[in-house]
Amino acid sequence: MPTLTACALGRLPYRDGLRLQEALVRARSDGETGDWLLYPDHPPVLTVGRNPSEDNLRVPVETLDRLGIERFEVARGGDITWHGPGQLVGYAILDLTARDRDLHRFLRDLERSLIATLEGLSLPAGIVPGRTGVWLSGEKIASIGVAVRRWVSYHGFALNVHPDLKFFKLIHPCGLRGIEMTSIAARLGSRAPGLEQVRVRTTNHLAETFGYRALRWAEPDEAWRTAGETAPEHLSSARHAAA
């Protein structure tokens, strides 16, 4: 694999993140650009994948409206999940044809990278067969949900670094009952690294696990330019603050 381009996008509403992803998927499948790893910082949002198995909300819709939490139905795999501050959301826009179009291997490689990241923090994370994602002694610390269009992947993973875990009480995460979510901060307390450090570690492990020869970091402007989309205007200052 040649080069992986990673990019911390800064604060980005979910809707705009989706727009950027879809445009980059098009550019990737047309061969105009290489593989990308995007890290948006989303305001609190609930997203639902294809065929949610159950009634997965634990509160009335009105409560979500009052809290200002938007909901999106997206074409990724998996059930309902929450994204928001303190969570490392990673979108992997990779050409899967170069990876033999092996979808399960792709999921396992994502898990492997996240486990390596957590093990680097002395957190003994692992998998639970049949329940894709990353677990820490019975609690879930990272979720995975992927979509594939023209054999290019998008969406990806969400690793809980230091989110307010109360948000997960709004839903049955991933449609699973009685699932407790945890985070790096919940386990490590004051020794927990910040989002930026976890982002760098995760990216390095992903680049290694997926076998890239090189990894480079791009500014958000480059991602938007490559996608042929314009960044939401009011966010430019916030983006620079994050970059």
Partner 1 sequence: MPLSIVVPQLGESVAEGTVSKWLKAVGDRVRKEEPLVEIQTDKINVEIPSPAEGTLASITVAEGTTVLVGTEIATLATAGESVGGSPASPVAGAAATASSTEARAAAPASTGASGSARATASAPTPAPAAPSATPASRPASLPVAASVASAYSGGNGANVTPAERNLSPSVRRIMREQNVGLDEVTAIRGSGVAGRVTRDDLLEYLQSRATRPAAAAPAAASATAQRPVPAASGPPGFLGAATAATAAGAREEIVPFTRVRRLIAENMVKAKHTAAHTHCFDEAEMAAIVALRREWAPKLETQGVKLTYMPFFIKAAVLALREFPWVNGSVSPQGDAMIVKKYYNIGLAVGRGDKGLIVPNLKDCDRKNLVQLATEVNDLAARARADRLRPDDIQGGTFSITNAGVYGAINSSPVINVPEVAILGVHRIVERPVIRDGQIVARPMMNASIGFDHRVVDGELAVKFLRRVCELLERPELLWFYA
Residues of this chain that interact with partner 1 (CB under 8 A) are 49-55, 57, 60-61, 75-78, 100-108, 111-112, 115, 124-133, 135, 137-138, 144-150, 153, 177
Integer Cα distance of 80 and 58 in angstroms: 11
Integer Cα distance of 129 and 206 in angstroms: 21
Say which of 174, 206, 223, 227 is annotated catalytic: 174
**Which residues, including other chains, have CB under 8 Å from residue 76's CB and lie 6 or more apart?**
47, 49, 50, 145, 146, 147, 154, 155
Nearer to partner 1, 50 or 225 (CB): 50
**Smallest distance from partner 1 to CB 181, Å:** 15
Nearer to partner 1, 16 or 111 (CB): 111
Integer Cα distance of 160 and 183 in angstroms: 5
Helices (H), 32-73: 61-67
Integer Cα distance of 196 and 104 in angstroms: 28
Nearer to partner 1, 174 or 207 (CB): 174
**Smallest distance from partner 1 to CB 85, Å:** 24
Nearer to partner 1, 182 or 195 (CB): 182
Evaluate whether 205 touches 39 at the Cβ level (below 8 Å). no
Is 7 designated active site? no
Give the residue numbers marked as catalytic: 174
